[in-house]
Amino acid sequence: MAKLQGSLIWYELMTADADAASAFYGDVVGWTISPMAGDTKGYRMIAMPDGAVGGMLPLTSEMIDHGARPTWLMYIGVDDVDTTVAAVEAAGGKAYMPAWDVPGIGRLAMLADPQGAPFYVMNPIPPEGGGESHAFSPTRLGRCTWNELRSADLDAAISFYRDLFGWAEAGSMPMGPQGDYKFLNRGDVPLGGAMGGATAEQPPRWLHYFRVANIDDAAAAVKRGGGQVLHGPHEVPGGDRVIICHDPLGAGVGFVARPED
| Beta pairing class for 32-35 and 168-174 | unpaired
Determine how many CB atoms are found less than 10 A away from the CB of residue 216: 14
Helix (H, G, I), strand (E, B) or coil at 107: strand
One domain for residues 160 and 79: no
Helix (H, G, I), strand (E, B) or coil at 171: strand
Query: How far apart are the C-alpha atoms of 218 and 190, rounded to whole Å?
Result: 23
> By residue range, what is the domain housing residue 60?
8-131
The CATH number given to whatever domain includes residue 61 is 3.10.180.10
One domain for residues 159 and 48: no
One domain for residues 76 and 171: no
Query: How far apart are the C-alpha atoms of 203 and 200, rounded to whole Å?
Result: 5
One domain for residues 178 and 120: no
Determine how many CB atoms are found less than 10 A away from the CB of residue 191: 27
In the sheet with 180-186, reading across from the earlier edge strand, the strands are 168-174, 180-186, 189-195, 144-150, 205-211, 252-257, 241-246, 228-235
Query: How far apart are the C-alpha atoms of 67 and 188, rounded to whole Å?
Result: 38
In-domain check, residue 1: no
Residue 1's pLDDT band (cuts 50, 70, 90): very low
One domain for residues 97 and 124: yes
List, for residues 196-254, the tens digit of each pLDDT value: 988 888 899 999 999 999 999 999 999 999 999 999 999 998 899 999 999 999 999 99
One domain for residues 116 and 158: no
Q: How many domains does the chain have?
A: 2
- The whole-number pLDDT of residue 39 equals 64
Strand partners, 121: 76, 109
Tell me the mean pLDDT in the region 65-75.
91
Query: How far apart are the C-alpha atoms of 120 and 8, rounded to whole Å?
Result: 10
Query: How far apart are the C-alpha atoms of 67 and 71, rounded to whole Å?
Result: 12
One domain for residues 12 and 115: yes
Query: How far apart are the C-alpha atoms of 182 and 172, rounded to whole Å?
Result: 4
Asked whether the beta carbons of 29 and 142 are under 8 A apart, the reply is yes
In-domain check, residue 210: yes
pTM: 0.94
List, for residues 90-119, the tens digit of each pLDDT value: 999 999 999 999 988 899 999 999 999 999
